[in-house]
Structure 1
Amino acid sequence: MDYLLKKGETVSVTAGPESCSLRMDQGSVWLTRYDDPRDYILKLGETFAVSTPGAVVIEALEDTAIALEYACTGRPARTTIQIGLCLPSSIVMERN
């Protein structure tokens, strides 16, 4: 599956039982995953293997195009996706 993200948008991906890979087709993202203390920055042309269960959170650092595919076949991966949309930086919320 291919996804287009605008700068600041986030996606939470939970892969199925088969491992899948995330391929960067445009832009760059910050990525972190459940039960992994490391953070990752992925850039154009790089891939990231999602081989363990748990959520992977991806935030676009710029306008980005990514593809999720099954690692062994290259078919689009079956995943659960939650998308968080960013607010433009010109919107300021005030609390009284």
Structure 2
Amino acid sequence: MEYVLGKGEVISVAASAGNQTIQVVAGEIWLTRSGDSRDYILRRANRFSIAPAESVVLEALEEASFTLVPAEATAPARLILHVPPAVLHKA
């Protein structure tokens, strides 16, 4: 499934089963991972792996889209997406 974020939109992603990979399809995304003091800038075709029970926060630095890919095509994937209320109520 492909997700689209408008410039400045923020979303948190938590992988609950198996490793997941975020793959940027278009745009530029700023990624922060729980327990990691580093920040990451992801651009088109960049990938970033998320371990089970790990969470990341993504912010679109420009309009961006990304996909979430399970580490193994046969592994069940369950992702929990949290959208801040400010994003939901954006005019």
Number of paired residues? 88
Look up the SS of the partner of 2:32 in the other structure.
strand
Which ranges of structure 1 fall in alignment gaps of 5 or more residues? 89-96
> 2:31 matched to 1:31?
yes
In the TM superposition, residue 30 of structure 1 has moved relative to its aligned partner by: 0.3
Greater per-residue helix proportion: 2
Paired letter, 1:81: L
TM-score, normalization: structure 1? 0.81
TM-score, normalization: structure 2? 0.85
> 2:70 matched to 1:61?
no
In the TM superposition, residue 32 of structure 1 has moved relative to its aligned partner by: 0.5
Counterpart of 2:47? 47
In the TM superposition, residue 39 of structure 1 has moved relative to its aligned partner by: 0.5
The runs of at least 4 consecutive aligned structure 1 residues that moved more than 6 Å come to none
**Identity score, percent:** 36
| Larger Rg belongs to | 1
